[in-house]
């Protein structure tokens, strides 16, 4: 059974249909890249999976671990293991990143019926992961995302993923605004989270990111649909031939 199964999904934003019958299935343990030109609906898809308000689903369905995802509230989806990164880089002044992480993690563990981490266990885990991600301890004392650079925000998201251990990670344009060193660190962090139980959707406009996070499957989106799927070599073909060929097909 697929971990995530999207069937004929139709979505409207402010009366305009953005996704026109999108179908996609992702097995556990697989990394799927979604590529496509700007405005093709990639972020819309990620928002609808995560349950961001403002989207009207007018048709189709999304099954996650066989359950109706669209019937769940956003926090319920998160507790079930859906994690969307990089779309809410909200700043929370006055709340130290460390405190935020601990509160969010324990709320999520509670919702899953798991025991909360003790303070020493939590600190040990955060230190271990932040070291791998090259996150300085003083960054964790600062307000959430306050004054974080693009790279720091992304490393903070990867830290959250490593703590929350979601079964589906959606990474929306993690390469935007990152220099090559920051991209490598973030991508290494993501790769360390690959496992037979965890699936990932890596959304990107460019092929470059997929040199670092090598996908099992590549999909091309155009005008609100998946218009082509293939192996990782499809990303290289696209780099050479561009998206224009799909604009007509869609």
Question: Residue numbers of the site for ligand ADP (CB under 6 A)?
Answer: 13-14, 18, 36, 38-44, 54
The rounded Cα 47 to chain-centroid distance in angstroms is 10
Residue number with CB closer to ligand ADP (98 or 209): 209
The one-character DSSP state at 179 is -
Instruction: Tell me the three-class secondary structure of 79-104, residue by residue.
Output: HHCEEEECCCCCCEEEEEHHHHHHHH
Stretch of 31-39, 135-143, 193-201, 241-249 contacting Mg ion, by CB under 5 A: 31-39
Query: Looking up tokens 């199964």, which residue turns up?
Result: 5
- For 64, other C-beta atoms within 10 Å of its C-beta total 22
Stretch of 39-47, 135-143, 221-229, 242-250 contacting Mg ion, by CB under 5 A: 39-47
Q: Does 43 bind Mg ion (CB under 5 A)?
A: yes
Residue number with CB closer to ligand ADP (36 or 51): 36
Residue number with CB closer to Mg ion (55 or 100): 55
Q: Does 108 bind Mg ion (CB under 5 A)?
A: no
Selection from Mg ion, ligand ADP, none that 130 binds (CB < 5 to 8 A by kind) is none
Query: Looking up tokens 């563990």, which residue turns up?
Result: 109
Q: Does 222 bind Mg ion (CB under 5 A)?
A: no
Q: What is the distance between the alpha carbons of residues 146 and 54, in angstroms, rounded to a whole number?
A: 26
Query: What's the closest the beta carbon of residue 205 comes to Mg ion, in angstroms?
Result: 7
Q: Which of 14, 83, 26 lies closest to 51 in space, CA to CA? A: 83
3-state secondary structure of 56: strand
Query: What's the closest the beta carbon of residue 55 comes to Mg ion, in angstroms?
Result: 14
Selection from ligand ADP, Mg ion, none that 138 binds (CB < 5 to 8 A by kind) is none
Q: What is the pairing mode between strands 143-144 and 217-222?
A: unpaired
Length of the chain: 250
Selection from Mg ion, ligand ADP, none that 66 binds (CB < 5 to 8 A by kind) is none
Selection from ligand ADP, Mg ion, none that 44 binds (CB < 5 to 8 A by kind) is ligand ADP
Footprint of Mg ion (CB under 5 A) = 38, 42-43
């Amino acid at each position: 059974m697929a971990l995530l199964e999207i069937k004929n999904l139709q979505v409207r934003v402010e009366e305009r249909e953005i996704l026109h019958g999108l179908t996609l299935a992702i097995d556990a343990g697989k990394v799927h890249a979604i590529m496509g030109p700007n405005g093709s609906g990639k972020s819309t898809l990620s928002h609808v999976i995560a349950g961001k308000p403002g989207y009207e689903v007018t048709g189709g369905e999304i099954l996650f671990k066989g359950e109706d995802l669209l019937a769940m509230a956003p926090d319920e989806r998160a507790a079930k293991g859906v994690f969307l990164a990089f779309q809410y880089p909200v700043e929370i002044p006055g709340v130290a990143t460390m405190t935020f992480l601990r509160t969010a993690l324990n709320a999520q563990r509670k919702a899953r019926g798991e025991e909360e981490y003790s303070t020493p266990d939590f600190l040990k885990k955060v230190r271990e992961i932040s070291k791998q991600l090259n996150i300085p301890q003083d960054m964790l004392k600062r307000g959430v995302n306050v004054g974080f650079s693009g790279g720091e925000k992304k490393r903070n998201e990867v830290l959250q993923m490593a703590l929350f251990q979601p079964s589906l990670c959606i990474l929306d344009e993690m390469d935007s605004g990152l220099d090559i060193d920051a991209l490598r660190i973030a991508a290494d962090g993501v790769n360390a989270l690959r496992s037979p139980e965890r699936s990932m959707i890596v959304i990107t406009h460019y092929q470059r990111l997929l040199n670092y996070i090598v996908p099992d499957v590549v999909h091309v989106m155009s005008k609100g649909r998946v218009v082509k799927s293939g192996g990782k070599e499809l990303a290289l073909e696209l780099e050479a031939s561009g998206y224009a060929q799909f604009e007509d097909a869609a």
